[in-house]
């Protein structure tokens, strides 16, 4: 190792907005630096590439102390939608793309995208449920083979 990272494999296990964006930014940034990058979507992280869910990713307003609003208020109907709307506006100003557009862009950078077989089976999904950028549904063993020789990041 000469101290440079040349490859990253990033696991996305959460389906909230704040759970998905960091992984996408890191994958996109890795490609921009000329590294190889793979995204592996598992459990609720699959929402980030699920055609039916990708447009409806929300910020968690409950169970998220960093929101600094009382849990009961955060639990009111529409709160998560409101927080998501506000955050999306700020991100738009900073030219951070919405998740569907970001996934498309990351696909265009040549980053690999894969869905976790165990989770896909558990949620009763098939490859047709995912956006076209998802290349394959793979097992954990396949993932480790793919990640060999690089860094693994779990988010």
Partner 1 sequence: MSTATYAGVSVELNDEGFFVDPNQWTKDIAVELAKADGIEELTSQHWTVLEFMRKEYFEKGTGPTVRVLGKTSGVSVKDLYLLFPKGPAKMAARIAGIPKPKGCI
**Residue 91 CB neighbour total at 10 angstroms:** 15
- Alpha carbons 53 and 68: distance in angstroms, whole number: 27
Q: Which is nearer to partner 1, 62 or 105 (CB)?
A: 105
Query: Does 131 help bind partner 1 (rule: CB under 8 A)?
Result: no
Query: Does 28 help bind partner 1 (rule: CB under 8 A)?
Result: yes
Span of 76-84, 107-115, 129-137, 140-148 interacting with partner 1 by CB under 8 A:
107-115
DSSP 111: -
Query: Does 31 help bind partner 1 (rule: CB under 8 A)?
Result: yes
Residue 98 half-sphere exposure, CB side, CA atoms within 13 Å? 12
Q: Which is nearer to partner 1, 7 or 31 (CB)?
A: 31
Query: Does 7 help bind partner 1 (rule: CB under 8 A)?
Result: no
Q: In sequence order, what are the beta bridge partners of 13?
A: none
DSSP 50: B
From 62, 79, 87, 105, residue interacting with partner 1 (rule: CB under 8 A):
105
């Amino acid at each position: 190792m000469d101290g440079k990272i040349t490859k990253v494999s990033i696991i996305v296990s959460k389906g909230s907005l704040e759970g998905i964006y960091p992984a996408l930014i890191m994958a996109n940034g890795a490609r921009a630096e000329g590294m190889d990058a793979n995204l592996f979507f598992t459990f609720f992280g699959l929402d980030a590439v699920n055609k039916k869910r990708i447009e409806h990713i929300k910020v968690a307003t409950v169970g998220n102390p960093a929101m600094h609003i009382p849990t009961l208020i955060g639990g009111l109907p529409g709160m998560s939608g409101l927080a998501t709307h506000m955050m999306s506006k700020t991100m738009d100003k900073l030219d951070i793309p919405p998740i569907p557009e970001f996934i498309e862009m990351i696909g265009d950078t040549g980053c690999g995208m894969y869905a976790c077989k165990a989770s896909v089976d558990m949620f009763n999904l098939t490859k047709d449920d995912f956006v076209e950028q998802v290349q394959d549904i793979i097992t954990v063993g396949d993932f480790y083979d793919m990640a060999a020789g690089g860094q693994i990041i779990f988010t």
